[in-house]
Amino acid sequence: MSILSGKKVLLAISAGIAAYKTASLVRLFIKSGAEVKVIMTPASKDFITPLTLSTLSKNPVESTFYDKDDENELWNNHVDLGLWADIMLVAPATANTMSKMANGTCDNLVLATYLSAKCPVYFAPAMDLDMYKHPSTKNSLAQLQGFGNVLIPATSGELASGLIGEGRMAEPEDIVSFIENDMLSKLPLRGKKVLITAGPTYEAIDPVRFIGNHSTGKMGFALAKSAANLGAEVLLITGPTSQQILHSFIHTIHITSAQEMYDAVHKEFANVDIGILSAAVADYKPKNVASQKIKKTDHSLEIQLTPTKDILASLGAIKKHQFLVGFALETNNEIENAIGKLQRKNLNMIVLNSLQDKGAGFAKDTNKVTIIDADLHEKTFGLKSKNSVANDIMNEILQKINA
């Protein structure tokens, strides 16, 4: 899945022959899952028609603040467009448009929108080689980069003039992958490896029966998605669950029992930066697992249980650089019990959910948590969807690891 999936891309086209390539650019953004709106300088319409671009982007294309000939025409609000966008791309960025952007000139819709945009702005210059080399163009490039705008460099090759040199707009495929890579490199958990446990564990009684619990894995899967969206490489170790996740940054390992989860976690822990153990691991397992199905009799049946290994505590005992987060599910003396677990298991943070809170806990789509850090600072959040809770937890972790 592309990082552009679900993102709002505002493509601003200025008047260069490379404008004909913006049709492919719109197609590629749409293919990557982005929503696209196109704005144009009036002169760029000589190079590609708004009809082509509105058909491809499935959105109206604007080039003026309003249509003088249509008395019902609405004002094309550049501020709204600027705020709508997650990213703005000026392509092709001509010498004229770049110079105006660099100097705050605001005589068309593209420039007014550029000045209003709060999102990251990319620009892909396109012009003839001598124009590209001109000191005034170099000034514009430097000034725009100084504003934090991101240059997608022009390439060398044959130009519309027939001359050969630098000034060709980067190819649409290269522009899209440049933006994807740039966005990825700026994600706050880029380069970090996060291990997450999720779901229940099943402890076998015999070949057909087990001891389990009602955990669905929803919270752990939401955490995996949130961490991956922040750029982390996620290793999701999950017990039996109907949850599914498809994300290029998430590698899922399926296990069944507490011992299998323990083994899988320990195999990976040395290489991870953050461990978040949200699984509802069985605390006990049958001491002996019958090799054949246990037959029904008239007598009562006793199954002797023996403790499983506490995975979280075992990681707390060996952790070095890792930031370790546990969960506590409590029904009474919530805060004291959670702090007890935080300290006993040597954690950096614990997420408490109380079963006394309506809407929190197993099999629900919502959760209500209190996050307690190693300095015993508490932060209580309201009832939210598990996806939002996951984002809150990841934000707290980010703040701590960057503090």
Residues catalogued as catalytic: 213
Exposed e or buried b for every residue in 233-249, given b needs 16+ CB within 10 A? bbbbbbbbbebebeeeb
Is residue 281 at the binding interface for ligand CTP, with CB under 6 A as the rule? yes
For 349, residues 6+ apart whose C-beta sits below 8 A from its C-beta are: 323, 324, 325, 326, 342, 371, 372, 373, 374, 396, 397, 400
Total residues in contact with ligand CTP, by rule CB under 6 A: 15
d(CA 153, CA 168): 9
d(CA 265, CA 278): 12
By the 10 Å C-beta count (0-12 exposed, 13-18 middle, 19+ buried), 14 is classed as buried
- Candidate residues 10, 56, 159, 311; the one interacting with ligand CTP per rule CB under 6 A: 311
Q: Which of residues 102 and 281 has its CB atom nearest to ligand CTP in the complex?
A: 281
Q: Which of residues 96 and 346 has its CB atom nearest to ligand CTP in the complex?
A: 346
Tallying the residues shown for the chain, one arrives at 403
Tokens of 391: 């984002």
| Binding positions for ligand CTP, 242-261, rule CB under 6 A | 258
Is residue 285 at the binding interface for ligand CTP, with CB under 6 A as the rule? no
Q: How far is CA 131 from the centre of its chain?
A: 39
Query: Which of 46, 29, 18, 12 minimizes the C-alpha distance to 115?
Result: 12
d(CA 403, CA 397): 10
Is residue 312 at the binding interface for ligand CTP, with CB under 6 A as the rule? yes
Among 43-51, 75-83, 275-283, 387-395, which window interacts with ligand CTP (CB under 6 A)? 275-283
- Candidate residues 123, 210, 249, 327; the one interacting with ligand CTP per rule CB under 6 A: 327
| Shortest distance, position 302 Cβ to ligand CTP, whole Å | 22
Among 23-31, 122-130, 246-254, 306-314, which window interacts with ligand CTP (CB under 6 A)? 306-314
Return the SS3 of 172. Answer: helix
Give yes or no for a contact between 230 and 187, defined as CB atoms under 8 angstroms apart. yes
| Shortest distance, position 312 Cβ to ligand CTP, whole Å | 3
Tokens of 179: 């933006």
Q: Which of residues 89 and 328 has its CB atom nearest to ligand CTP in the complex?
A: 328
Is residue 372 at the binding interface for ligand CTP, with CB under 6 A as the rule? no
Is residue 308 at the binding interface for ligand CTP, with CB under 6 A as the rule? yes
Is residue 353 at the binding interface for ligand CTP, with CB under 6 A as the rule? no
| Shortest distance, position 156 Cβ to ligand CTP, whole Å | 56
Among 85-93, 94-102, 222-230, 274-282, which window interacts with ligand CTP (CB under 6 A)? 274-282
Give yes or no for a contact between 193 and 272, defined as CB atoms under 8 angstroms apart. yes
Is residue 277 at the binding interface for ligand CTP, with CB under 6 A as the rule? yes
| Shortest distance, position 56 Cβ to ligand CTP, whole Å | 48
Is residue 310 at the binding interface for ligand CTP, with CB under 6 A as the rule? yes
Alpha helices in 147-254, H assignment, sequence order:
172-185, 218-229
User: What values do phi and psi take at 228, rounded to 5?
Assistant: -65, -40
Q: Residue 180, Cβ neighbours under 10 Å: how many?
A: 14
| Shortest distance, position 353 Cβ to ligand CTP, whole Å | 9
Among 22-30, 104-112, 229-237, 325-333, which window interacts with ligand CTP (CB under 6 A)? 325-333
List residues near ligand CTP by CB under 6 A.
197, 258, 277, 279, 281, 283, 308, 310-312, 326-329, 341
